[in-house]
Structure 1
């Protein structure tokens, strides 16, 4: 099944690159970013659990390890993004001309592609190493040391550079933390057949609540920093998203996050409440990602059905790969 999923994904990536056009490529980008963040977030949660020797890691370790092993699939998903840089990123378009300022060398198609290949290769190597049996405290420390800067730089390259004037320092880190929260939520939902032991449940509850609060704090802090700095180019970034796209953040992402925090705050979660918190965190993650990525599209936004179709197709290929890896791993203790 892994081979079939990989071949189908490679074929879809090739056809999208050659025949897809700007609309299909624009639908491909946020779908690629969504599944990449969940896979890389799984690697981060796995490293944090090992490093802190948390009891809550045991029941969700198999799905996290399977997700960390799925990182090679991201290389196939990345093909249209890397080959169509000039279509997806305004600074790379031929008519844009050379970039000015401190990011001149960064915003260059060849450098962009080389960095992306480096990120994907690094994450695949770390995922394979960390998904082995046993405790990996030292390896987890090394993983986080390499993962945090690479994930933040990837967020700036793949997401935030769509607006070359945007220099927000916390936004890339916020995107990575959102990936951690989404990956933890997905792993808990996947491990529902093996609920955490009593000694691990409080830690899992605290982890969900901590990540949700951190996401909210990073959103608020970044907005306040931009507001106080009164920089027109950064204010424009928010104004574009509070117009036609304001309902995505204010009507979906923010209410889902606040409700998740309200449900996660009281201790002693039941299964239904923990599942609800996880679903709400995943919903806010998807909505916020589209809210950040889509308003800076250089071409017309694709219809919602195309977004759903592409995200679902890439997700299906990722889940098939993940499921094959998950079945190979021992059941949670």
Structure 2
């Protein structure tokens, strides 16, 4: 099944890169980013759990390790993005002209592609190493040292550079923390087939609440900083998203996050409440990612049905790979 999923995805990626129009490529980008965030988020949660010797890691370790080992699949998903840099990123379009100063070294198609390959290779190696049996405190420390800067650079390259005027900020870190929350929520839902031991539940409750509060604080802080600084290029980034796209954030992502926090705050969640918190965090994660990525589409937004088809197809291939890895090593010591 895993080989079949990989072959199907390779063919789909090759077809999208060679024959996909701007709408297909635009639908491909947020789907690739979504599944990538789950994988590198799982890598971060694993590293934090090992480093702090947390009890809550044990029940969710198998699904997290399976997610971390899905990074080779994500390299296939990256193919259309790397081939179509000039279509997906306004700064790379021929009519944009050469970048000036230090941006010429960063916002260049060749440098973009080389960095992307470097990120994916680094994460794949770390994922394989951290998913081995045993305790990995030293490796986890090294993983976080390498993962954090690479994830922030990738967020700037793949997401924030769609607006060439955007400056480095807390946005990249907020995107990474949101990926941690999404990966933890997905792993908890996957682990319900073998319910966690009672001693691990309080830790999972605290971890979910902490990450949900961190997501809210980081996005709110970034908004306040931009509003107080009154920088036109950064204000324009928000204004584009509060127009036609405002309903995604204010009507879906923010209510889901606030409801998740309100349900996660009281202790002793119980199975149904923890499930609801995880589902709400996943809804928030998906909606917020589309809200961040889509308004800067150079060729406009694709039809919703195309978004659903591409996201569902890539998600199906990723879940098949993840499930195969999960079943191959269902538990680790």
Q: If the length of structure 1 is used for normalisation, what is the TM-score?
A: 0.99
1:194–1:332 Cα contact (<8 Å) kept: no
2:134–2:332 Cα contact (<8 Å) kept: no
Query: Could you say which residue in structure 2 is the equivalent of 1:17?
Result: 17
User: 1: CA distance between counterparts of 2:168 and 2:237?
Assistant: 10
Query: Could you say which residue in structure 1 is the equivalent of 2:159?
Result: 159
Question: Which residues of 2 match residues 169-318 of structure 1 at below 5 A?
Answer: 169-318=169-318
User: 2: CA distance between counterparts of 1:33 and 1:212?
Assistant: 20
1:168–1:222 Cα contact (<8 Å) kept: no
SS in 2 for 1:82: helix
1:34–1:286 Cα contact (<8 Å) kept: yes
1:171-229 Cα deviation digits (max 9, x unpaired): 00000000000000000000001122111110100000000000000011000110111
Q: Displaced runs of 4+ in structure 1, greater than 3 A?
A: 330-333
Query: Could you say which residue in structure 1 is the equivalent of 2:87?
Result: 87
User: 2: CA distance between counterparts of 1:60 and 1:325?
Assistant: 14
Query: Could you say which residue in structure 1 is the equivalent of 2:61?
Result: 61
Q: How many corresponding residue pairs?
A: 333
TM-aligned CA deviation for residue 168 of structure 1: 4.1
SS in 2 for 1:31: helix
SS in 2 for 1:105: helix
1:56-81 Cα deviation digits (max 9, x unpaired): 00000000000101110010000000
Larger CA deviation: 93-102 vs 261-270: 93-102
SS in 2 for 1:200: helix
1:13-61 Cα deviation digits (max 9, x unpaired): 0111111110000000000000000011001001100000000000000
- Segments of structure 2 that go 5 or more residues without pairing to the other structure are none
1:240-273 Cα deviation digits (max 9, x unpaired): 0000000000000000000000000000011010
User: 1: CA distance between counterparts of 2:34 and 2:44?
Assistant: 15
User: 1: CA distance between counterparts of 2:300 and 2:45?
Assistant: 36
Q: If the length of structure 2 is used for normalisation, what is the TM-score?
A: 0.99
2:6–2:73 Cα contact (<8 Å) kept: yes
Query: Could you say which residue in structure 2 is the equivalent of 1:126?
Result: 126
TM-aligned CA deviation for residue 104 of structure 1: 1.9
User: 1: CA distance between counterparts of 2:276 and 2:100?
Assistant: 47
Larger CA deviation: 280-289 vs 191-200: 191-200
User: 1: CA distance between counterparts of 2:276 and 2:118?
Assistant: 36
1:68–1:131 Cα contact (<8 Å) kept: yes
TM-aligned CA deviation for residue 100 of structure 1: 2.2
1:59–1:332 Cα contact (<8 Å) kept: no
Q: Give the aligned CA root-mean-square deviation in angstroms.
A: 0.9
- Segments of structure 1 that go 5 or more residues without pairing to the other structure are none
User: 1: CA distance between counterparts of 2:124 and 2:133?
Assistant: 17
